[in-house]
Amino acid sequence: MRALYISRRQWKLALTYLFTLALMVGGAWLFLPGSEAEPTMGEAYRSGPPESSMVSLTINVDWGEEYLPDLLSILAQHGVPATFFLTGRWTENNPELAREIAAAGHEIGNHGYSHSSPNASTVEEIQAEITSTEQVIHQATGVVTRLYAPPSGECEDHVLQAAEQVGYSTILWSVDTIDWQKPDAETILARVRKKMHGGAIILAHPTAGTVEALDRMIQELEAEGYEFVTVSENLGL
C-alpha cells in the first residue's frame, strides 16, 4: 500500500479550515431563536416612520417650572399633545404641576430621578433611578410611566438593557432645539426648520426661548402638513 504523505503546511491549512468551520457552525447554533446567547438588548428610538406626517414634541423637565404654565397654555390653545419627561426629584418638589400636565392630557415619561449620568452608572443604579421615579410620578399623577428619556441622551448598551429589563422603551430625539443653552426664539425655530422631517421627535425644555418660539413652531409645522402626536402614537408603542 502506498503511504499518503501530508506536509506540515498542509496540516496547518487543514486545521485552520476545520477550526473556522467549527466557529461558523457553533456561532450559528448559539444564535438560533430561543438560545440563551440570542441578543435581548433593546434599542433607542429617535424618530417615527419618515414617511409619516406625525411628529412629537418632547419636553424634558428637571427645572424651569416657572415656564410650564405658559407652555401648557400654548399647547392647549392649539390642541397639541406633548410628551413630558419628568425627573423624580422635580416631581417630588412640584406635584401640583405634574398633576396639571397629566390633567391636560399630555403623555408623561420618565427622566430618571436625579438627572445623574446613566453611562457612568451600573445597571442596578439605572433601574433604581427609573423605578423610584415611576413611583413618585404615579403617586403624584396616577400615571404609570413606560417611556424613558435618559439624561443627556446617554444610551450605552447597558443603559438600554437596564431600561428594557424594567419594562421601558428608551426615547431620544432627531431634532434638538438645544434650548437649554438659552438661545432666542429665532435660533430655536431655525434649528427646527433645518432638521424637520416626518416622524420627528423634537427635544425641548421649559425655557423662555421655547415659550416664545412654541406658538410659531406649531403654526409653521401644521401649515406644512405635520400633525403633533404623543411619542407613543408616533412610534406605535
pTM: 0.82
Determine the pLDDT at residue 18. 44
Which of 32-36, 106-110, 181-185, 225-229 has the lowest average pLDDT?
32-36
Task: State whether 29 and 48 are in the same domain.
Answer: no
Q: For residue 43, what pLDDT band results from cuts at 50, 70 and 90?
A: confident
Task: State whether 136 and 214 are in the same domain.
Answer: yes
Task: State whether 32 and 115 are in the same domain.
Answer: no
Separation between Cα atoms, residue 204 and residue 83, nearest integer Å: 10
Question: Which is nearest to 169 in space by CA: 108, 237, 233, 122?
Answer: 237
Task: State whether 225 and 203 are in the same domain.
Answer: yes
* Average model confidence (pLDDT) across the chain: 87
Query: Looking at residues 43-58, what average pLDDT do you find?
Result: 97
Q: What does the pLDDT look like over 93-152, one tens digit per residue?
A: 999 999 999 999 999 999 999 999 999 999 999 999 999 999 999 999 999 999 999 999
Q: With 50 as the cut, is the pLDDT of residue 16 above it? A: no
Backbone angles phi, psi at 200, to 5 degrees: -60, 145
Which of 4-8, 86-90, 95-99 has the lowest average pLDDT?
4-8
Q: With 60 as the cut, is the pLDDT of residue 27 above it? A: no
Percent residues over pLDDT 70 in the chain: 82
Task: State whether 32 and 49 are in the same domain.
Answer: no
Query: Looking at residues 191-218, what average pLDDT do you find?
Result: 98
Q: With 70 as the cut, is the pLDDT of residue 224 above it? A: yes
Q: With 70 as the cut, is the pLDDT of residue 19 above it? A: no
Q: Which domain holds residue 218?
A: 44-235
Residue 229, all three cell numbers: 402626536
Residue 118, all three cell numbers: 446613566
Task: State whether 16 and 54 are in the same domain.
Answer: no
Q: What does the pLDDT look like over 160-176, one tens digit per residue?
A: 999 999 999 999 999 99
| Total of domains in the chain | 2
> What's the CATH number where 226 sits?
3.20.20.370
Q: What does the pLDDT look like over 54-74, one tens digit per residue?
A: 999 999 999 999 999 999 999
Task: State whether 74 and 189 are in the same domain.
Answer: yes
Backbone angles phi, psi at 57, to 5 degrees: -105, 120
